[in-house]
Amino acid sequence: MSKTFRGSYGVTVTPFTDDGKSIDEAALKRFLDWQLEAGSPGVIILGTTGEFLTVTDEERTRYVEATVNHVAGRMDVLVGTMNASTANAVRYTREAEALGADGLMIVPPYYYTPTDDEIFEYYRAISESTSLPIMLYNNPVTTNVDMSAALVARMTKAFDNVRYIKEASLDAARVFDIVELTEGVMNVFAGERPVECFLLGAVGYVNPYANYLPEASTRLWDALAEGEIDEAKEIQKRIAAFDRIIAEGHPTYGHQCYSKALAAARGYPVGDVRPPLTTFAALGEEGLERRARIMAILGEIDAYVRECAARRAQHA
């Protein structure tokens, strides 16, 4: 494994055409350029926010290829290659490596509520099929299983290319447990509460906010790495303010449609979500009102990040 992943990685939306029937490659390229301009170290495609369950195999191939080719080594590209079927997960993994991906992010098999041994064998098959670094993704809300620190340590010891995990169990203390049980070998990426996770040993952050706030989401982790903890705390606090607006009365994982609506409002239209997710258009006036409130907060965050940058420049 030649890559080392660090910093804030956006788990990105999949841009669709206005009718939702195809991936919009022109919109994808504009969107990726925005991420590059923001200084993002990498993107993770075909994750939860990327609606991987609604993308066909043919679309997946074209999407991974188009992303890798456009980025052309200027930032990392990780691909979600998870599936309820181990054989399909292995197939997607091999394809991602062949197409030039830098790494993978993979949840355990969903729907079946697998045992620890079943999860272990699933990751064994994937690990043996690729030389790419694998980021485990612990998300009990969507997979119905919570990978314990002990299971993570078991897989870290057994599989040489399992060296990263996005820890999204909502238990920040889990970060410390994973670092301790793996003797620091496992690199933990926060899925929630990045400031707290950093202080407990996390080395990066995987988040949906880069879809519409790439500069600030990138800066949040950079600030932590530079010891500017108060700056990072302030960005996190302001992100939490609009997170609450999205969560109020909206279905679980409402982030998908809001991520796309907010990206469009920022000048990067990427279509709407595919069924069965609730579209932003279906939210009507309520969605427009919430988006307006969020956009005001995004403007405040951007201004805060610029002010901090100006202060650093003055003291340089």
Q: Which residues are catalytic?
A: 137, 166
With contact defined as beta carbons under 8 Å apart, do 213 and 239 qualify?
A: yes
User: How is residue 117 written in tokens?
Assistant: 């041994």
Peptide bond into 276 cis (omega under 30): yes
Length of the chain: 316
Q: Write the CB contacts of 253 (distance below 8 Å, at least 6 apart in sequence).
A: 48, 142, 277
d(CA 184, CA 284): 48
d(CA 63, CA 46): 9
What's phi and psi for 12, nearest 5 deg? -95, 160
Q: Write the CB contacts of 63 (distance below 8 Å, at least 6 apart in sequence).
A: 14, 23, 28, 45, 46, 55
Task: State the CB neighbour count (10 A cutoff) for residue 172.
Answer: 20
